[in-house]
Chains A and B, each alone.
Chain A
């Protein structure tokens, strides 16, 4: 109990005593708040608060009118005829009581109560808009020691950077706000709110700034922080007014969604559900929000708050509200008991024209974005029809290509932090095929869509793909295997499939995602890789004979480009992939490169197969010769028997 507030509380106590011997115990924080509010409602020279401003304030507490009347009666203002400090303080206390659910009676103010909450006071906006310019002069030397959370620091820096954003909304957070998930976009509102405050005071102001930043809508925090503010020297009534302004700002600003936030949320919504008018189902949303690593009871509460129609699904507005609450909670704000009005779906939907516009903006961010959208759509469709592997092979392929792009897009955008990037990718496709593919495709930047495809498309073959070595190493493996297999070739013609399989993923690792890339080109000089791949080809040839036919089909379908050797494994894997249909090619610059590498590898495979073919032909000839020899022998012998 120090200065003005102390005096205020002293007078309040005295006045309260005057009203009926009731000693009104006010904690320090309450004194702070009440004095601010009082000074707000009544200009300093007067001793009593103006009825209209008081009425407004009370209405802002969002209590029903009857309660407010009751409060007015109980606090004695009606009797006395005006809102003196005592009445005002009692009224505030009663408001707090009513907001906490206690009946409006004198006795209830004796309890320990949180501070009364006031929402959306219009005075504040006017005040704020009035003098943004003055505020820019304020230096932000927020004592970082008081900041408990990093995001607050960022906020301050951001505020320094962007003090000039027009006060279109209470929170005009700079575009940098969505840069990481942990950022408090909300805190910018605090900065903006402060920008509207009339007066600039140096250190105490910033202290307040920091403390108020940490002050959430719950007054619990406020208590601690206003203790801090208590300690600041030289607080005049006008300062108090600013405080009170800002604090009332804070009570609704954190719950107001800025444009960047809305964009971000909309994009996240789109990642989960491409149609902005549709719902996100409960389970999808649950998985999504669980990734925010908030405890389940809090998530449960957030859901309760945001799903206003209680249908188990989130519309875009509800989703934005929920996301906003999650962000707020992660940044340290307490969750409110009821949904703040700025987060109500009706309110959000009123601003929903923006998301449409922002969609266009978003699309213009980067070219591949449409494809990433498409990827998401694709993956969505995959989701819906994810049963058959072969059917999805094409989709998967394209989906993975786009996914890769989507990954790149999201990184370039920098609006989606790593965490959510993966979440986006994950959330977009969680069906078995895609899911199998995804962990692999995300683990290295060059998508191993082939891997995914192979995995998906070769159910009979065991998919142990542990090795992720690069192609050259795999060719060494192939050498060894080929030598093993050549023995088998001589003897049996069926090299063991398992040795053939493991090198596949390693080969495909460097692959680009395209089935089409696999072209056996039958006109390459043999190399060791070829020989190796010929071994593989044997494996492949051992498989249903329709495959070579398909291989040819694919050869025809695709144009051959730079012939380079590459491990054949792709070919072998692609052959089964080629099973059902010719894949639909989506050409893009990256894909072209991918295709070229793939074609290279195909050609290697082709070469190997060609060699294999020639060897087999050789064998065939030999066998023929033997046969002929045997037949002639038989003929020679036969006349003897016949005769």
Chain B
């Protein structure tokens, strides 16, 4: 499974995958899925902030895996890719994972040394992501 967060300019601030092989493929998937996310955002049209901060749901299922998206009100997108074989993952869990991600992201934002748009190097964030992904895999 892969996790990625990207700001408006659509470059990933943070990308992490477990297991670590096929990383390039995941990168590619993530980038393409960002397009889908953008599409969904624009499709929402006049949706206000509340709507925006939504879990975008299953972006598109491919042969091997599913991609889930989430957008915050500051246009930061989170993309999660999970194996299709992992059927134990339910929607709620994905939602909760995204929520945790969002919380961690806001914690990072509180750090005055963090400039928005930088790559995320926060160890706390890493730990949280790792633990989350371990749970899934």
Contact = CB atoms under 8 A, between A and B. Distances in A.
Interface string B63-97: 00000000000000000000000000000000000
A300 B116 CA distance: 13
A304 B112 contact: no
B130 A101 contact: yes
B112 A303 contact: yes
B123 interface: yes
B113 interface: yes
B113 to A, nearest CB: 4
Centre residue among B108, B109, B112 by max chain A CB count within 10 A: B112
Nearest to B104: A310
B123 A304 contact: yes
B51 interface: no
A307 B113 CA distance: 12
Contacts of A337: 123, 127
A556 interface: no
B112 A286 contact: yes
Centre residue among A286, A301, A310 by max chain B CB count within 10 A: A310
A307 B130 contact: no
Contacts of A286: 112-113
Given A297-B121, A301-B123, A337-B123, A307 B114 contact: no
B111 interface: yes
**Interface residue tally of chain B, by bracket?**
10 to 19
A282 B110 contact: yes
Nearest to B107: A310
B122 interface: yes
B113 A300 contact: yes
A282 B112 CA distance: 5
Contacts of B58: none
Nearest to B125: A304
Contact of B122 (A289, A299, A300): A300
Centre residue among A101, A297, A300, A303 by max chain B CB count within 10 A: A300
B112 A301 contact: no
A337 B124 CA distance: 8
Contacts of A297: 113, 121
Contacts of A300: 111, 113-114, 121-122
Contact of A311 (B110, B122, B127): B110
Contacts of B106: 310
A641 interface: no
A62 to B, nearest CB: 15
Nearest to A101: B130
B126 to A, nearest CB: 10
A303 B106 CA distance: 14
Contacts of B108: 304
B124 A304 contact: yes
A283 B114 CA distance: 11
B121 A282 contact: no
A74 B90 CA distance: 33
A307 B108 CA distance: 11
A297 B114 CA distance: 8
A283 B109 CA distance: 12
B102 to A, nearest CB: 13
Interface in A287-332: 289, 296-297, 299-301, 303-304, 307, 310-312
B111 A307 contact: yes
A433 to B, nearest CB: 25
A285 B112 CA distance: 8
Contacts of B111: 282, 300, 303-304, 307, 312
B12 to A, nearest CB: 18
A477 B28 CA distance: 73
Contact of A301 (B107, B110, B122, B130): B122
Contacts of A301: 122-123
Centre residue among A303, A307, A311 by max chain B CB count within 10 A: A303
B75 to A, nearest CB: 20
Nearest to A300: B113
A289 B113 CA distance: 10
Interface of A: 101, 282-283, 285-286, 289, 296-297, 299-301, 303-304, 307, 310-312, 337
Given A304-B122, A307-B110, A310-B110, 5 more contacts: A286-B112, A289-B113, A300-B113, A304-B108, A311-B110
11 contacts: A282-B112, A286-B112, A297-B121, A300-B113, A300-B114, A303-B111, A304-B122, A304-B123, A310-B106, A311-B110, A312-B111
